[in-house]
Chains A and B, each alone.
Chain A
Amino acid sequence: MTKTNPKWHWLETKHLSLIFALPFFLLLATCQSSGDKASNSTDSDQKTDLFPDKVEIKHSIGFDVSYHGHYKLLHIFRHYNDVIDTLTYTLLQRGAEAPELENPVINIPVENITSLSTTHIGFFNLLNAMGQLKGIETRQYISSEVVKQMVADGTVKEMSPAGALNVESVINEGTEVVMAVGYPNSQNESYQQLERVGIPVLLNSDWQELDLLGRAEWVKLLAVLLNKEQIVNKEFAAIEAEYASVLQKLEGVTSTEKMTISGIAIGDAWHVSGGRSFAVNLLKLVKADYPWLEDASTGSLKLDFETVYQQGLSADIWMVPGSAKSKEEVIQRDARYADFKAFKNGNIFNIFGRYTPGGGNDYYEQGVIEPHVILKDIVKIFHPDLLPDHDLVYHSQLK
Chain B
Amino acid sequence: MALLSAVLLLLFVLDIGLGSVRIPFMEAIKVLLGQSIDNKAWEAIVLKIRLPRSITAILVGAALSVGGLQMQTLFRNPLAGPSVLGITAGASLGVAAIMLTAGTVTTVFSIRQLDAGSSWLIILAATIGAALVLVVILAISFRIKDNVVMLIVGIMVANITVAIVSIWQYFSDPEQIQEYLLWTFGSLGGVTNQQLQVLGIIVLAGVVFSLFLSKTLNALLLGEDYAQSMGLNIRKSRILIIAVTSILAGSITGFCGPIGFIGIAVPHLTRSFLNTSDHKVLIPSAVLVGGILMLICDIISQVPGSQTVLPVNAITALIGSPVVIWIIVKRRNLKASF
Residues of A within 8 A of B (CB): 140, 162-164, 265-269, 302-307, 309-310, 313-314, 322-325, 328-329, 332-336, 339, 357-359
**Contacts of B217-274 to chain A: CB distance below 8 A:** 257
* B114 CB → nearest A CB, Å: 10
The answer to whether B103 touches A334 (Cβ under 8 A) is no
Q: Number of B interface residues, CB 8 Å? A: 44
A323 touches B21 (CB 8 A): no
* B309 to A: closest C-beta gap in Å: 5
A304: chain B residues within 8 A (beta carbon):
19-21, 302, 306-309
Residues from chain A with a CB closer than 8 A to the CB of B48 are: 336, 339
Please name 17 further chain A to chain B contacts, defined as beta carbons within 8 Å, in addition to the given A304-B302, A333-B118, sorted by A numbering. Answer: A163-B173, A268-B187, A268-B190, A268-B301, A304-B20, A304-B21, A305-B189, A307-B307, A309-B44, A310-B45, A313-B40, A323-B116, A334-B192, A335-B193, A335-B194, A336-B48, A357-B113
Query: B172 in the interface, Cβ–Cβ < 8 Å?
Result: yes
Q: Is the CB of B119 within 8 A of A267?
A: no
Does B41 reach chain A (CB closer than 8 Å)? yes
Looking at the assembled complex, report how far the CB atom of A144 sits from the nearest CB atom of chain B, in whole angstroms. 18
**B115 contacts which chain A residues (CB < 8 A)?**
328-329, 332
Q: Which residues of B contact A (CB under 8 A)?
A: 19-21, 40-41, 44-45, 48-50, 102-103, 113, 115-120, 170-173, 179, 182-183, 185-190, 192-194, 257, 301-302, 306-309, 311-312
Q: Tell me the smallest distance from the CB of B175 to a CB of chain A, in Å.
A: 9
- Do B103 and A140 touch (CB < 8 A)? yes
With contacts A266-B179, A269-B309 taken as known, whether A332 is within 8 angstroms of B118 at the C-beta atoms is yes
Q: Which of B44, B116, B311 contacts A329 (CB 8 A)?
A: B116
**Max chain A CB contacts within 10 Å: which of B40, B116, B192?**
B116
Which residues on A sit within 8 Å (CB–CB) of B119? Answer: 332-334
B117 contacts A329, C-beta separation under 8 Å: yes
Complex CA gap A335/B44 in Å reads: 13
**Chain B, Cβ-Cβ closest to A324:** B117
Main secondary structure of the interface of B (DSSP, over half): loop
Q: How far is A359 from B176 in the complex, measured between Cα atoms in Å?
A: 12
A residues near B309, Cβ cutoff 8 Å: 268-269, 302, 304-305
Most interface-central of A267, A304, A328 (chain B CB within 10 A): A267
With CB as the reference atom, state the residue of chain B lying closest to A163. Answer: B171
Q: With a CB–CB cut-off of 8 A, which chain A residues contact B301?
A: 268
B307 contacts A163, CB within 8 Å? no
Q: Which residue of B lies closest to A322 (CB)?
A: B117
* Contact B44–A339 (Cβ < 8 Å): yes
Cα A322 to Cα B179 with chains together (Å): 11
Contact A310 B21 (CB under 8 A): yes
18 A-B pairs within 8 Å (CB atoms) are namely: A163-B171, A164-B171, A267-B182, A267-B183, A267-B185, A267-B190, A267-B311, A268-B188, A268-B190, A302-B309, A305-B309, A306-B21, A310-B45, A323-B117, A329-B115, A334-B192, A335-B194, A339-B44
Assembly CA distance A60 to B184 (angstroms):
38
CB of A94, distance to nearest CB on chain B (Å): 37
Q: B120 contacts which chain A residues (CB < 8 A)?
A: 332
User: Which chain A residues lie closer than 8 Å to B21 at the CB level?
Assistant: 304, 306-307, 310
Q: Is B192 a contact of A335 with CB atoms below 8 Å?
A: yes
A309-B103 in contact (CB<8A):
no
Closest to B19 in A: A306
Determine whether the beta carbon of A309 is less than 8 Å from that of B49: yes
Q: Which residues of A contact B307 (CB under 8 A)?
A: 303-304, 307
When C-beta atoms are compared, the residue in chain A nearest to B49 turns out to be A306
Give the docked Cα–Cα distance between A314 and B113 (Å). Answer: 31
Shortest Cβ gap from A306 to chain B (Å): 5
**CB atoms of B172 and A303 under 8 A apart:** no
Q: Which residue of the partner chain B has the closest CB to A140?
A: B103
Inter-chain contact A313/B170, CB cutoff 8 Å:
no
Cβ–Cβ contact B117 & A333, under 8 A: yes
